[in-house]
Amino acid sequence: MDFKKEIAQKISLLTDMELEKVLDLIETPPQKNMGDYAFPCFQLAKVMRKAPNMIAAELAAKVQPDNVVEKAEPAGGYLNFFINKGEYIKEIIYEVLAQGEQFGSSDMGKDKNVVVEFSSPNIAKPFHVGHLYTTVIGNAIEKIYKHLGYNTIKMNHLGDWGTQFGKLISAYKRWGDEAVIEKDPINELLKIYVKFHEEAEKDPALEDEARNYFKKLEDSDPEAVALWQKFRDLSLKEFMELYKKLNISFDSFAGESFYSDKMGEVVEILKEKNLLKDSNGAKIVDLEQFNIPPCMILKSDGATIYATRDLATALYRKRTYDFYKNVYVVGGTQSLHFQQIFSTLGLMGFEWHKDCIHVSTSLVKFADKKLSTRKGDVIFAKDVVNEAIHKTLEVIDIKNANLENKEEVAKMVGIGALLYAFLKNSRDKDVIFTWEDTLSFEGESGPYVQYTYVRGKSILRRAGQVAETADYSFLQSDDEFQLVKLLGGFKDALKEAADRYEPFVVTRHITEIAKAYNKIYNSHPILNAEANVKNARLHLTKAVCTVIYTGLKLVGIETPESM
Ligand code: ARG
């Protein structure tokens, strides 16, 4: 039973307002003592030409107590509903236990395709913490959409094309040492790439050589293609190690190179629609009407660029996946780029440009100076991941030295802790990272939430066999009702997270569940309670574990059984 919907139905019957509209209007009261749902009467007041508080009072008198509501009270222009606690607790726990990990799932996304592009690192360049941010957020968004029934397509738009590959080929041929590069590919390729720029300052002929190599690459010259392929394979191998650790997979690695032969069409359409303008020999699309700088399509030497490839990418995705939404999880520094792409698609006449969404992430900052930075200011994601695992193992060695499968637990907890730091706040906030907060077992942290699950599981283990059924009317305390309300609110949290492309809504919600459960753990006996109470609390414990496990999984965090 969906209590919110049942209440909406009552209101709809009493007021003749459409059910959907009522559902939209229903709010959560700001304070617990004001009930569980509130219906604002201000819209009705306009239609009925009556004061909202009068309407609220009249409606309240008409609501009869039943298995859905205990009572309804007018409060100013609001009608506050107090749900039937006993029924609610019964319904929710029953539903969680019956559905297990499927709890909160939906068919709202049935037959709708959602492309989620995330991570998208660049070949032969560092996979830095900024990429880690979009990787974590994109992975969570995809999982949440999937849980809501959408068909998701996970795309990794690798940066594997562009003039820089001409430079890299030239650098490799001059200074590349195959054995050294095989060992530590990205670092070494980066080194020779940097060297190329230094040398090219002294000898500008190098630039011509690089341009030449890129031209060869574009013309499918076998040697150039083989080298490019080698760089791509080696880099991807390194990226895959990281994805494996993070337990992340993709459906497609069609990166920029994949679109290198699909840009002609874009240029044709732009020409046909008279959108291409000359600008010092280059071709651009004027976007002044949107108050943003023009989108460059062709450079003065006729070469296509990043933006041209993104236009071809969007066309390809629409054609191939007929997407309902095309989501780009990419750092906020590329906001303007995506505005230009989406506006240009609009000018090209593609109505679906409105379904393209740039989900932007902010910056990642490290308060700990200790963290090693290797090249300039860039912090490699793999270093942070490895350090998180390493530091967690140290903590486990102190706290729980006899733990079996220590390494595996350290991986789940260390990575979980790290991921949580990216998932706990909205995307418009910079991630300010400290090891102390991240690895803390208290307050708002990954280990805290994971530990709550572990605690619940340990209670269930100690209880031995848990009875099939329980009488939930023994869950009498307000603490328990508030916890069950949080469990019941999980679905709404998922929907809100999906609507806003904000996984933190889920992270926060399960953190609240963990806090509420720990409050009960600390102030009410569970294993030592009277038999009926104990049994009901064990069922509640099981439901809490299920929702925490599912919630963590949906944001991409694994949970150990003990830690
Ligand atoms: N490779 C780019 C970078 O590392 C991100 C790609 C973003 N996606 C896109 N469709 N342009 O900055």
Residue of 304, 330, 356, 358 to test ligand 1 pocket, by largest number of atoms within 8 Å of CB: 330
Per-residue pLDDT averaged across 247-269, rounded? 96
Domain boundary among 53, 83, 113: 83
pLDDT interval class at 151 (50, 70, 90)? very high
Shortest-distance Cα residue to atom 3 of ligand 1 = 121
Catalytic site residue from 4, 10, 85, 128: 128
**How many structural domains compose the chain?**
3
202 as an active site residue: the answer is no
DSSP string, 351-411: GGGGGEEEEEE--EEES-TTS---BTTB-BHHHHHHHHHHHHHHHHHHH-TT-TTHHHHHH
% of the chain at pLDDT higher than 70: 98
Minimal CA–CA distance to 193: which of 167, 159, 225, 212? 167
Same domain, yes or no: 70 and 166: no
524 as an active site residue: the answer is no
In a domain, 139, yes or no: no
Catalytic site residue from 5, 71, 112, 125: 125
pLDDT at 233: 97
pLDDT interval class at 443 (50, 70, 90)? confident
Domain boundary among 36, 53, 83: 83
pTM of the model: 0.95
Tens-digit pLDDT profile for residues 447-503: 999 999 999 999 999 999 999 999 999 999 999 999 999 999 999 999 999 999 999
C-beta atoms surrounding 7 within 10 Å: 23
d(CA 63, CA 278): 69
pLDDT at 442: 85
Q: Which atom of ligand 1 is nearest to the CA of 331?
A: 12
C-alpha of residue 375 to centroid of ligand 1, in Å:
20
C-alpha of residue 65 to centroid of ligand 1, in Å:
56
Same domain, yes or no: 75 and 181: no
- Ligand 1 binding pocket, CB closer than 6 Å: 117, 120-122, 157, 159, 310, 313, 328, 330
pLDDT interval class at 377 (50, 70, 90)? low
d(CA 362, CA 360): 7
Kindly report which listed range (240-254, 322-336, 433-447) carries the lowest average pLDDT score. 433-447
pLDDT at 370: 57
pLDDT at 302: 84
Q: Indicate if the pLDDT at residue 281 is higher than 70.
A: yes
In a domain, 118, yes or no: no
C-alpha of residue 132 to centroid of ligand 1, in Å:
13
Same domain, yes or no: 392 and 488: yes
pLDDT interval class at 127 (50, 70, 90)? very high
* Mean per-residue pLDDT over the chain, rounded: 95
In a domain, 304, yes or no: no
Same domain, yes or no: 65 and 173: no
C-alpha of residue 119 to centroid of ligand 1, in Å:
8
Domain boundary among 218, 234, 254: 254
What's the domain range around 240?
162-254
In a domain, 330, yes or no: no
50 as an active site residue: the answer is no
Q: Indicate if the pLDDT at residue 372 is higher than 80.
A: no
d(CA 510, CA 498): 16
